[in-house]
């Protein structure tokens, strides 16, 4: 390409971007997107980079620039951040490690005892840059360290730590240390995070939202995700349950609109996840997009995507901020992907749906004591990104014949009424499953084009309930049936789900019960509310030896990054990193790595050179909720850049 041709291309790109770059109204695209100083790229959770050195033409020259071994057996899913030429990662048994972003040389290490929020970390600096801090959750305490040295900051909280339980209106002696993998967010001089529920059973704690002063660690404001008496939303719970309601936690990730000063928080299910006989009602603010004033914690608006959730369909993906052209005007929206396969698109200031969302009748429960919501919200646009039913015609054809027959019998003997089929004593089919659809890190945007990209896991579950029995542990799935569940009338019978996070497939082959694709990427044009393209994401290591490709990876967990070079980068459990053409979905580059990729890549620039960094798990391992891969070594951070011509 001649110099004149390069100038013309650059001018066309600039002219195309000018409408977005020149907007000055609140919510417009203002930041440059050329840094990666916060989890997912910035407080807006865009997972987008405006760097374009690596593009459709040059990506063929992308190769490993340096590696940093984690020096332990964990399968990391950490999204690195880069500030002032330093990359911060999690390695060495939960240590925060500072690396030279150009060479990978280690600068300092800060060891931690106990679990660390393993998806990302937060960076904050004072206006004069004399104070620069990293903030993260460690063993239930908000922790602050010096970003330049790794030393603890003793003036923050108590010796650099703050117990996040403090501020809950509950008996703290009965609540264990509350650790979450949610990195939280920095807004101005505040650190905002949701508390974890502290358990998956009936007896848990609420996921209140806390904001702390980043300098002192002082608790500044609290938002009750389970409303207290007299608060808006309290009417959606039984009066007796308000003081003991639990769950409703933002366990995954959240987003800040820094221009508006609004924090958007997607919430999870109320406890217990699969039976709600103790919590009749819609259960606000469960399964909702919450818009709060980031300075005060005051509710601005909310939108509930599921009423009285019985499927563990948490909103696990960060809300995405972008501006779209709708009915002849520019509209600032927040787009929320869900586990059950919908993309909810709401106006950012009001929470009003951009396209109508209809309340439609849904199947009702026959479990004693349950009161299912008669209707649920269904977006009329855009179309769902995930399959929402599983019938005999969807049985995986790659399974052995006897395994297929077993599934046919299981489907015939289960309650299977489509989306929102409630859990039952007989057993109910759930599709997408409770770990399917969109999970943390699995959505990204191109804010210049008004596009959202979602990676979905396509996997069903079987939800079968049984009454609790003596000896069942309260901290597991419910209380001892000889005890009364707090906040419920005498004689309440708790139910628990039998293996709610698995499905009867073929144990011998390890293959899923449903036909491929088992993971796929969907590209949305939100200027039109339509799907641009949809493609399988990766391959299955179970079927590659048979020559079967294009199935989508089973149990894919990695998030994606979109770049101004027209590429989408995403890793998969088949030990591959791929670049997709963001306009067509075609794979334009792929590179084998030494293990599965389970996190979100980071994109940054140093000395005029663009880099892409990703955490690679130990060889032969898969990600799980603990991130542990005992007995395995080989986890590493791998950084790519263009080779010279």
- Name the stretches of the chain with pLDDT < 70: 1-30, 470-491, 504-505, 619-633
> Does 432 sit behind a cis peptide bond, omega within 30 degrees of 0 on the bond before it?
yes
Q: Are 451 and 532 spatial neighbours (Cβ–Cβ below 8 Å)? A: yes
- Bridge partner residues of 614 (DSSP): 638
The whole-angstrom separation of Cα 382 and Cα 534 is 13
b/e burial code for range 354-390 (CB count within 10 A of at least 16 → b): beebeeeebbebebebbebbeebbebebbebbbbeeb
- Give the per-residue pLDDT at 489: 61
Which of helix, strand or coil describes residue 325?
A: strand
In this predicted model, what pLDDT tens digit does every residue of 85-124 receive, in sequence order? 999 999 999 999 999 999 999 999 999 999 999 999 999 9
Q: What is the pLDDT of residue 201?
A: 82
In whole angstroms, give the CA distance from residue 67 to residue 80.
Answer: 13
Predicted confidence at residue 30, as pLDDT, reads 67
Q: What pLDDT does 249 receive?
A: 95
Respond yes or no on whether the N-terminal peptide bond of residue 285 is cis (omega within 30° of 0).
Answer: yes
pTM for the model stands at: 0.92
Contacts of 438 (CB under 8 A, 6+ apart): 316, 317, 337, 338, 339, 341, 385, 386, 454, 455, 456
Q: What pLDDT does 481 receive?
A: 44
Beta bridge partners of 97: 89, 109
Delineate the domains of the chain, giving CATH numbers in brackets: 31-642 (2.140.10.10)
Helix, strand, or coil here: 96?
A: strand
């Amino acid at each position: 390409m001649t110099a004149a041709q390069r100038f013309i291309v650059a001018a066309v790109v600039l002219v195309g971007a000018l409408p977005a770059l020149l907007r000055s109204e609140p919510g417009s695209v203002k930041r440059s997107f050329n840094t990666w100083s916060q989890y997912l790229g910035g407080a807006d959770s865009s997972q987008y980079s405006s760097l374009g050195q690596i593009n459709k033409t040059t990506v063929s020259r992308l190769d490993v620039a340096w590696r940093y071994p984690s020096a332990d057996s964990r399968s990391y899913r950490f999204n690195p951040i880069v500030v002032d030429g330093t990359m911060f990662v999690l390695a060495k048994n939960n240590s925060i490690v500072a690396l030279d972003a150009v060479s990978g040389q280690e600068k300092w290490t800060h060891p931690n005892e106990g679990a660390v929020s393993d998806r990302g970390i937060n960076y904050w600096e004072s206006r004069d840059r004399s104070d620069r801090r990293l903030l993260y959750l460690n063993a239930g305490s908000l922790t602050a360290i010096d970003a330049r040295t790794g030393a603890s900051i003793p003036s923050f909280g108590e010796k650099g730590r703050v117990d996040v339980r403090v501020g809950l209106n509950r008996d703290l002696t009965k609540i264990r240390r509350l650790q979450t993998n949610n990195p939280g967010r920095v807004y101005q001089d505040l650190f905002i995070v949701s508390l974890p529920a502290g358990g998956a059973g009936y007896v848990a704690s609420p996921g209140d939202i806390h904001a702390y002063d980043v300098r002192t660690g002082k608790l500044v404001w609290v938002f009750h995700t389970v409303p207290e008496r007299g608060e808006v939303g309290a009417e959606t719970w039984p009066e007796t349950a308000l003081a003991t309601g639990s769950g409703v936690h933002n366990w995954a990730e959240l987003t800040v609109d820094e221009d508006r000063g609004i924090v958007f928080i997607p919430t999870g299910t109320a406890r217990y996840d699969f039976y709600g006989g103790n919590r009749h009602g819609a259960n606000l603010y469960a399964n909702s997009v919450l818009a709060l004033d980031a300075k005060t914690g005051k509710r601005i608006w909310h939108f509930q995507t599921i009423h009285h959730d019985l499927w563990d369909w948490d909103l696990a993906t960060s809300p995405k901020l972008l501006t779209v052209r709708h009915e002849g005007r520019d509209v600032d929206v927040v787009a929320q992907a869900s586990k059950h396969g919908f993309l909810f698109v709401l106006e950012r200031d009001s929470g009003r749906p951009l396209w109508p969302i209809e309340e439609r009748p849904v199947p009702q429960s026959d479990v004693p004591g349950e009161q299912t919501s008669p209707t649920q919200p269904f977006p009329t646009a855009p179309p769902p990104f995930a399959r929402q039913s599983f019938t005999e015609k969807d049985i995986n054809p790659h399974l052995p014949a006897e395994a297929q027959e077993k599934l046919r019998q299981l489907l015939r003997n289960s309650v299977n009424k489509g989306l929102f089929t409630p859990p039952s004593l007989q057993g109910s089919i759930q599709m997408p499953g409770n770990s399917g659809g969109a999970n943390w890190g699995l959505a990204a945007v191109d804010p210049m084009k008004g596009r959202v990209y979602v990676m979905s896991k396509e996997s069903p579950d079987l939800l079968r309930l049984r009454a609790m029995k003596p000896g069942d542990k309260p901290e597991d799935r419910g209380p001892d049936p000889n005890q009364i569940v707090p906040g419920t009338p005498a004689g309440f019978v708790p139910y628990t789900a039998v293996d709610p996070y698995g499905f009867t497939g073929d144990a011998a082959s390890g293959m899923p019960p449903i036909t491929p694709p088992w993971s796929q990427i969907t590209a949305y044009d939100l200027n039109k509310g339509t799907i641009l393209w949809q493609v399988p994401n990766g391959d299955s290591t179970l079927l590659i030896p048979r020559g079967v490709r294009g199935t989508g990876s089973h149990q894919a967990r990695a998030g994606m990054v979109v770049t101004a070079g027209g590429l989408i980068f995403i890793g998969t459990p088949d030990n591959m990193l791929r670049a997709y053409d963001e306009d067509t979905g075609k794979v334009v580059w792929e590179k084998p790595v030494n293990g599965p990729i389970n996190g979100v890549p980071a994109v940054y620039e140093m000395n005029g050179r663009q880099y892409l960094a990703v955490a690679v798990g130990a060889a032969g391992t898969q990600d799980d909720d603990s991130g542990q891969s005992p007995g395995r070594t080989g986890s590493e951070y791998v950084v790519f850049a263009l080779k010279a011509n």
